[in-house]
Amino acid sequence: MTRIVYQDIDEFAGAMRGTIGCFIRTARSSVHWSINGIELATASMQQLQTGGPFTFAGKGQAGHLTFYLPLTEVGTVRVNGHILNANSFVVLREESPFVWSGSHACQWAAISVPLDHPLATSLVSGDAHHTAVRRRTSKALLDDLKQLIASITLSEERVTDTGEASRRSAETRIDLALIRALEHSVPADPLQRFGRPQFSRPKVISCALALLDAHEGHPIFIDDLCRATQVSERALRNIFHEFFGVGPMKLLKARQLHEIRAALLHAQPGCTTVSQIATRFGAFDPSLLARNYKEMFVETPSQTLHRVTVDASGGVRMSWLRHASRIFLEGSLSSF
């Protein structure tokens, strides 16, 4: 088993199997972001440690089916706008939208299989017409699966070189436990709403994201978002909390800090200043920026600017806003 600690959450997102997307940290991390990877016979299993409050926007990776099982308390974790309960898990099909948020550090098991794997064919044959991301099953079955994952992880830690037979045995046990959970599960759809008609939450967010995209690098206020979405400030805050775990203004501030950090990491210290980059992204108060930046990233903007970084990918990563825009502006999430 290989454990890698990530200082860059973009690299963390890129190392996740079965998922394509981007994170934004919405508050300071309390522990390291890390991934323990275990290669099975034809599948892969990862233990993900998210280090603190976050929001994620992305989708399932093409050609894969991925199961996400929370290993820690999940009462404040949301998936596609809904709380993930103790008896729920995630089934992420290829191209399925995945909006994920959490208000604390948490651990997850992610099991990713190719579409010709028995787990994938079993799910498709049993639930061909339903693309629900969240599924609900017996808590006892999920507890059994968690214990199995823990035992396999522990054996991997004790043995440095596991053979093919051991990997196949571990995968078979995981397959059987997941199939039992799937066979006794139902889609965890939103409850039917009664009373006056409800507005479409994804549509409200798509309007807000369109405004943000059109004014990138310029200050946006909550009144602007309310006018664009035609909902009250309270409703807007509630909707953002449902999908992203934080209100719109906190999300905007977090996004601004991440954009400034990305620009600082790719800037030349002798040619660019912190002030020039901050102004480009609408941060005009140096002392306030320094305070908020250090609270989020545990270093000053100047320290980031002079940090030596190596981007192995050699390319520009897609931003969180672009991933979120694809989900909501293209209507990947159905209205409810």
Instruction: Residue 270: give its domain's CATH number.
Output: 1.10.10.60
* 193 located within any domain: no
> Are residues 267 and 121 both part of a single domain?
no
> Are residues 221 and 177 both part of a single domain?
no
Gap between the Cα atoms of 243 and 191, Å rounded: 16
> Are residues 183 and 209 both part of a single domain?
no
Could you tell me the residue range of the domain that residue 36 belongs to?
2-187
* 336 located within any domain: no
* 156 located within any domain: yes
* 192 located within any domain: no
Residue-level pLDDT, tens digit, the chain, 336 residues: 678 999 889 999 999 999 999 999 999 999 999 999 988 888 999 999 999 999 999 999 999 999 999 888 766 799 999 888 888 999 999 989 999 999 999 999 999 999 988 888 777 655 544 567 899 999 999 999 999 998 888 776 655 556 788 888 999 999 999 989 988 888 886 554 544 446 688 999 999 999 988 877 677 888 999 999 999 999 999 999 999 999 999 998 998 899 899 899 889 888 899 999 999 888 889 999 999 999 999 999 999 999 866 454 444 467 898 899 989 888 777 644
Sequence length of the chain is 336
> Are residues 251 and 313 both part of a single domain?
yes
Domain endpoint, select from 124, 155, 187: 187
> Are residues 102 and 236 both part of a single domain?
no
> Are residues 140 and 26 both part of a single domain?
yes
> Are residues 214 and 178 both part of a single domain?
no
* 182 located within any domain: yes
Domain endpoint, select from 158, 187, 216: 187
> Are residues 156 and 266 both part of a single domain?
no
> Are residues 102 and 235 both part of a single domain?
no
Burial (CB count <10 Å: 0-12, 13-18, 19+), residue 287 = exposed
> Are residues 52 and 148 both part of a single domain?
yes
Q: What pLDDT, in 10s, does the model give residues 93-104?
A: 998 999 999 999
Q: How many domains does the chain have?
A: 2
Neighbours of 223 (CB within 10 A): 9
pTM attached to this predicted model: 0.86
CATH number at residue 32: 2.60.120.10
> Are residues 170 and 236 both part of a single domain?
no
> Are residues 235 and 129 both part of a single domain?
no
